[in-house]
Structure 1
Amino acid sequence: MKTPLLALASALLLAACGTPLRQIDRTHVSENQDSRVQYLILHYTVIDFDRSLKVLTTGGKVSAHYLVRDNPPQTYQLVDENRRSWHAGVSYWAGATNLNAASIGIEIVNAGFTDTPAGRVYAPFPQKQIDEVIALTKEIVARHNIRPDRILGHNDIAPGRKQDPGPAFPWKQLADAGLIPWPDPAQVEIKQAIYQIAPPPDLLWFQERLARIGYQTPQTGLLDVATREVLSTFQMKYRPSDILGEPDAQTAALLDVITTPGGMITATPAPAASAQRSPY
């Protein structure tokens, strides 16, 4: 603790150097504010833990706020939540762009996919690792009050350019944990039966519904490459058994339910077993 004489000497020295003393009053705090963090973006690394840690912390020009190891499951914080990490790149969701500035990124150690003669094979996520991701996500969401519809995959905000976290990532478990809404399966079943016998919606309908959710989607009425990539990305989350990007009856049913008020269910985590309707 400075003595009065030492404090006076310091003040005189600063004044002599031309640096004025200035105090900021921080006793008045505005009610009109919230967190700068509006989105939570999930990724997979494609490489093992040691290489992931090196790339994300050294000169690779890419980073993330958190890295979740696979074996053993462990969370590593690499960037403070109040600072911007370089994880999203060129990105878009529901009119917002360049999401690095308003998001937290979680990288999950996972091998990604391998192309084989039988097709593309995605690596599974160990359950304990998913449990760690869910626990971390809950903490981040609670700190920043992130909306459920803004917990996204890297592929959601950059379809075609990015695949992660891929169709092997169990989004339904995040829904069961109450973190994201999920299409009501009873409503999806009814809609799918209708679309299987009725004339299917045209391509512009699919494009409009995808854009309504938040995806950057062409509005051409054509099944072009960009539209197929967005359809495939949507299917990775809600129908991972078939991600070919075809505008089929089940995909139409999912889009219809998701974009209809009352179509999404938000689960109430244990100990409560009931479900509540979400306005999303």
Structure 2
Amino acid sequence: MSGFLPDEPSAEVRVSPNFGPRRDTLKPDMIVLHYTGMATGTGAEAWLCDPSSEVSSHYLVHENGHIVQMVRESDRAWHAGKSSWFGRTDINSCSVGIEIVNPGHSLGYPGFPRRQIDAVIGLCKGIAGRHEILATRVLAHSDVAPGRKIDPGEKFPWAALFESGVGHLVPAAPVRRGAALRPGDNGADVEALQSMLALYGYGVEITGIFDDQTRIVVEAFQRHFRPRRVDGLADGSTMRTLQGLLASVSR
């Protein structure tokens, strides 16, 4: 990538060899947020630029807010892996990937510093503006790869992004005691749950049976939109939050 100039003016450039051309699309229409899941940001940056890793991201955001661009937005970075949204399975070809330095669940999972989140917000605004990306298409890795991935996780401050004009959110309905759909349940209520998740974009088969895949998708939904309790059970809070999101959608 000779003569690589950053798409984001504030970004440092460190070129990764792990990229290719986008397939079947001229520009991205989605932003996918990740955490690095490694002990240090330096190690994560090196790994994303190592040809043997066969992974990359368009951007890396360090804890202090420093942004590194590794792949041009016009190219296809290798960040999402096996994933889907609205039935599309080549998420790498239609997205910009942002890795956020955080050791993740297996290494203590600390909170995300405000300087880092401010940098993510600014970066997302720039990307969304350049490519006319809708708020509903600023997503978590766990949204597009439920079960396989859980990042950036339930501590990620989606509300701070939303309050700054990034992403799609509604206030999560209060968690209360009461009945919940759970694995083994079946019938019209389960079918309605699966249909609503699919309408929002999640990859879930509409069968009317609350199977393990449905539980995994419910967990992914909760991790992003109702993080107070991530248990995979479709309680009243989960259902009302999902209904509220769908009612407020503008695609």
Q: How does 1:220-259 map to 2 (within 5 A)?
A: 220-259=207-246
> TM-score w.r.t. structure 2 length?
0.81
1:123 and 1:199, CA in 2 relative to 1: closer, same or farther beyond 3 A? closer
Candidates 57, 66, 70, aligned match of 1:74: 66
Aligned to 1:37: 28
Aligned to 1:217: 204
3-state SS in 1 of match to 2:77: coil
Q: How far apart, in 1, do the equivalents of 2:198 and 2:181 lie?
A: 22
Q: CA RMSD in A?
A: 2.4
- Structure 2: tracts of 5 or more residues without a match: 1-24, 183-187
Q: How far apart, in 2, do the equivalents of 1:170 and 1:241 lie?
A: 12
Q: How far apart, in 1, do the equivalents of 2:217 and 2:137 lie?
A: 17
1:199 and 1:112, CA in 2 relative to 1: closer, same or farther beyond 3 A? closer
Q: How does 1:1-280 map to 2 (within 5 A)?
A: 36-47=27-38, 48-59=40-51, 60-70=53-63, 72-114=64-106, 122-183=109-170, 188=173, 202-260=189-247, 264=248, 279=250
Matched AA of 2:156: F
Structure with more relative contact order (C-alpha pairs < 8 Å, separation 6 or more): 2
Identity %: 38
Rg larger in structure: 1
3-state SS in 1 of match to 2:206: coil
1:125 and 1:184, CA in 2 relative to 1: closer, same or farther beyond 3 A? closer
1:164-198 alpha-carbon deviations (Å, 9 max, x no partner):
1111111111111112232256xx56xx89x9599
3-state SS in 1 of match to 2:160: helix
Q: How far apart, in 1, do the equivalents of 2:79 and 2:250 lie?
A: 30
3-state SS in 2 of match to 1:241: coil
3-state SS in 2 of match to 1:105: strand
CA shift at 1:219, angstroms?
A: 1.5
> TM-score w.r.t. structure 1 length?
0.73
- Asked if structure 2 preserves the Cα contact closer than 8 Å seen for 1:111 and 1:123, the reply is yes
Q: How far apart, in 2, do the equivalents of 1:49 and 1:184 lie?
A: 32
3-state SS in 2 of match to 1:51: helix
Q: How far apart, in 2, do the equivalents of 1:198 and 1:58 lie?
A: 46
1:202 and 1:49, CA in 2 relative to 1: closer, same or farther beyond 3 A? same
3-state SS in 1 of match to 2:67: strand
Q: How far apart, in 2, do the equivalents of 1:88 and 1:143 lie?
A: 21
Aligned to 1:272: none
- Between the two proteins, the alignment pairs up a number of residues equal to 220
CA shift at 1:222, angstroms?
A: 2.1
Q: How far apart, in 1, do the equivalents of 2:225 and 2:204 lie?
A: 17
Aligned to 1:17: none
3-state SS in 1 of match to 2:234: coil
1:199 and 1:136, CA in 2 relative to 1: closer, same or farther beyond 3 A? closer
Q: How far apart, in 1, do the equivalents of 2:118 and 2:99 lie?
A: 14
